[in-house]
């Protein structure tokens, strides 16, 4: 099986290096392996969905008004 590095995955998925590291650390990517300080991500893995919160009272509406 071929693997890619954090940097290669970040470039492939158009994400930041730290974001990919966090996904590896939190177990969101299946099949990743850790070798010391380095992560090995399966090269054929697709970009995971974005699980960050995108709604809530702290986000303003497009017209600039707060969600109340």
Residue 30 in any domain: the answer is: yes
The count of residues in the chain is 68
Residues 26-44 have pLDDT tens digits of: 888 889 999 999 999 999 9
Range of the domain at 12: 3-42
Indicate whether 36 belongs to any domain.
yes
Beta strands across the sheet bearing 33-35: 3-4, 38-42, 33-35
Q: Does 17 map to a domain? A: yes
Would you say residue 68 lies in a domain? no
Q: Is the pLDDT of residue 18 over 60?
A: yes
Backbone angles phi, psi at 20, to 5 degrees: -65, -40
Residue 12 belongs to a domain:
yes
- Asked whether residue 7 is domain-assigned, the answer is yes
Quote the CA–CA distance of 7 and 65 in Å, as a whole number. Answer: 39
The number of domains in the chain is 1
Q: How far apart are CA 68 and CA 64, in angstroms?
A: 12
Q: Is the pLDDT of residue 54 over 90?
A: no
What is the average pLDDT score of the chain? 83
User: What is the reported pTM?
Assistant: 0.70
């Amino acid at each position: 099986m071929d693997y890619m590095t954090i940097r290669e995955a970040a470039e492939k998925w158009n994400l930041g290096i730290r974001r990919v590291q966090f996904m590896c650390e939190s177990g969101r990517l299946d099949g990743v392996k850790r070798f010391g300080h380095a992560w090995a991500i399966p090269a054929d893995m697709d970009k995971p969905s974005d699980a960050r919160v995108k709604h809530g009272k702290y986000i303003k509406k497009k017209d600039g008004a707060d969600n109340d």
